[in-house]
Amino acid sequence: MGETVLSLTGVNGWYGESHVLHGVDLDVRRGEVVSLIGRNGAGRTTILRAIMGLLDRREGRLEIRGHNMSTTPAYRIAKAGLGYCPEERGIFASLSCEENLLLPPVTRTDGGMAMSLDEIYAMFPNLKERAHSPGTRLSGGEQQMLAIARILRTGADILLLDEISEGLAPVIVQTLSRVIQDLKARGFTIVMVEQNFRFAAPLADRFFIIEHGRVVEEIAQADLAARADDIRTYLGV
Amino acid sequence: MTEIFGVPAPVLYGQLLLGLVNGSFYALLSLGLSLIFGLLNIVNFAHGTMYMLGAFLAYLLLEPLGLGYWWAILLVPLLAAGLGIVIERTILKRIYKLDHIYGLLVTFGLTMVIEGFVRVYFGVSGLRYAVPPSLQGMVDLGFMRLPIYRIWVIVAALGLCLVTWLVIERTRLGATLRAGTENPSLVQAFGVNVPLLVTLVFGWGVGLAAFAGVLAAPLMQLTPQIGHSIIITVFGVVVIGGMGSILGSIVTGLGLGLIEGLAKVYYPEASSTAIFVLMILVLLVRPHGLFGKQ
């Protein structure tokens, strides 16, 4: 595994007046897939939003590729090579599928990570067929693929994916699983928030367990079987 | 003489033309108002004032500076957009997170201040701005005579509306703008400088209003109040068309201008209230306006 490309140290976060992140420490290395797991409301989505600068207030240190980005405005975070796929997918209703796909500006051309439109359409053939449909006429699975696809052509090499398997049919979840493996093979660094542990389990190199707005434990892929009972307790299943 | 439903045809055509002219102003103003509301979430009460200011700036360019109509139509929208950008950067950006009512109040305050300055400088008696020589005269269509200037107003206003619409619906910038209207924080997370986009859109909207003001200058007595009378109607247009709908603003603006014109011919007493009666009816049937989304 490579050097640390994304790190949070003592990050606190607020939605309005309510304090939701309490000292998050987290590091992600180049080319790895990590998964944030935990109960609903534990703060997993909020951690991704904190990284993207989408909270009302954030304190603590955020470093991307060793650069301190703690006070960087939200619109500059993406330029550091981050691609964000929000939980609600964020497909724009007034834009066609292709307009949605082309919306995020290409922010880095030097990294060589940007996929061309042809490569993206090869990975998600459905999106090509639906290019001119309004974004919200797409099926749930197509919308999810669109939400992932559109951050692949910007040059971002760190992908933050929030609950991408949520509410989708098993066959589509399998497709997404292959997509994640493919992206990992291409060298993308991926941070996944997942409720569906069975989806995340074979994909992630490391798991961060989130409780009450902080990271309470880190488990490596190799220890997964041995720690299965603990994980079950943490997830409350 | 030919009559249509008991009204002499030339009178009817004349009023319809007037309706189209007014409708063009409504379209330009409500388009800007819609754009601004869509992206800034601010009900810009000062929009009529920017229209008024457009007319007075044209006058100001002519009177001491000697710059005529064509200079005015080029420079005034830019000057007004500049003023709009300053207002957005210094005042409006502080209130985006607050309730709509604050935006309405602060822009209402701006209206008072700007109107006050205009009143002090120009007085309230009303000024005249001449139709530029190149657009004077009439065209005889056989069944009616059309003043060239009014044709120009309709063509210029609708042309600019069309350009704005094309930019919004057919370009990358427009797609970013539409996305920003739906979910500004996500667009920001994609690396788009949304605060800059917001500033530019406000400048653009204000520029459209000032353009309308220059177009209207030769058609009326210029008093500081001209912004008031039109902004109320334009609010009606925006509500009927659907807040934030671009096409809705243009179509409704023109349509209501025509309806007003017809009302003036057939039932003059209702001409100034027709729009609001229609607004009530539309709100009863379609609370989000004719072109609005749920």
Are B191 and A76 an interchain contact pair (Cβ–Cβ within 8 Å)? yes
What span, in angstroms and rounded, lies between the C-alpha atoms of A179 and A185? 10
**Containing structural domain, residue A208:** 4-235
Structure token pair of residue B107: 């822009």
pLDDT per position as a tens digit, B150-176: 999 999 999 999 999 999 999 999 999
List per-residue pLDDT tens for chain A, 237 residues long: 578 999 999 999 999 899 999 999 999 999 999 999 998 889 999 999 999 999 989 999 999 999 999 998 888 899 889 999 999 999 999 899 999 999 999 877 665 678 889 999 999 999 999 999 998 889 999 999 999 999 998 989 999 999 999 989 999 999 999 999 999 999 999 999 998 888 999 999 999 999 999 999 999 998 888 888 888 888 875
pLDDT per position as a tens digit, B81-110: 999 999 999 999 999 888 889 999 999 999
Residue B113 touches chain A, beta carbons under 8 Å: no
The domain segmentation of chain B, as residue ranges, is 24-225
What span, in angstroms and rounded, lies between the C-alpha atoms of B245 and B37? 10
Structure token pair of residue B250: 């243009």
Calculate what percentage of chain B has a pLDDT beyond 70. Answer: 99
pLDDT per position as a tens digit, B67-88: 999 999 999 999 999 999 999 9
Nearest residue of B to residue A156, measured between CA atoms: B190
What span, in angstroms and rounded, lies between the C-alpha atoms of B125 and B119? 9
Contacts of B191 in chain A (CB under 8 A): 75-79, 104-105, 107, 154
> If you average pLDDT over residues B231-257, what whole number do you get?
88
CA nearest to B158, candidates B206, B200, B205, B212: B212
Q: How confident is the model at residue B272 (pLDDT cuts 50, 70, 90)?
A: confident
Residue showing tokens 């001119």: A132
Residue A1: per-residue pLDDT: 58
> If you average pLDDT over residues B278-286, what whole number do you get?
90
Residue A237 neighbours by CB distance under 10 Å: 8
Residue B5 touches chain A, beta carbons under 8 Å: no
Question: Is the interface score ipTM higher than 0.85?
Answer: yes
Residue B293 touches chain A, beta carbons under 8 Å: yes
Burial class (CB in 10 A: 0-12, 13-18, 19+), B115: buried
Residue A175 touches chain B, beta carbons under 8 Å: no
Are B186 and A90 an interchain contact pair (Cβ–Cβ within 8 Å)? yes
> If you average pLDDT over residues B101-127, what whole number do you get?
92
Nearest chain B Cα distance for residue A77, angstroms:
7
Residue A229: per-residue pLDDT: 85
Q: For A105, which of B178, B185, B191 is closest by C-beta distance?
A: B191
List strands edge to edge, sheet with A4-15.
A18-29, A4-15, A57-64, A67-68
Are A74 and B185 an interchain contact pair (Cβ–Cβ within 8 Å)? yes
Chain A to chain B Cβ contacts (< 8 Å): 62
Are B189 and A78 an interchain contact pair (Cβ–Cβ within 8 Å)? yes
Q: For B182, which of A93, A104, A105 is closest by C-beta distance?
A: A93
* Cβ contacts of B231 within 8 Å, gap of 6 or more: B29, B45, B47, B48, B49, B51
Q: How confident is the model at residue B144 (pLDDT cuts 50, 70, 90)?
A: confident
Residue A112: per-residue pLDDT: 61
Are A86 and B192 an interchain contact pair (Cβ–Cβ within 8 Å)? no
Residue B74 touches chain A, beta carbons under 8 Å: no
CA nearest to A160, candidates A57, A34, A29, A75: A34
Structure-model confidence comparison of residues A223 and B6, the more confident one = A223
Residue B181 touches chain A, beta carbons under 8 Å: yes
CA nearest to B198, candidates B213, B185, B211: B185
**Which of B39, B168, B172, B186 is the best substitution to test chain A (most A C-beta atoms within 10 A)?**
B186
CATH code for the domain of A110: 3.40.50.300
Find the DSSP H helices in B66-193.
Answer: 69-90, 100-122, 148-170, 172-182, 184-189
Q: How confident is the model at residue B293 (pLDDT cuts 50, 70, 90)?
A: low
Residue B245: per-residue pLDDT: 79
Are A77 and B189 an interchain contact pair (Cβ–Cβ within 8 Å)? yes
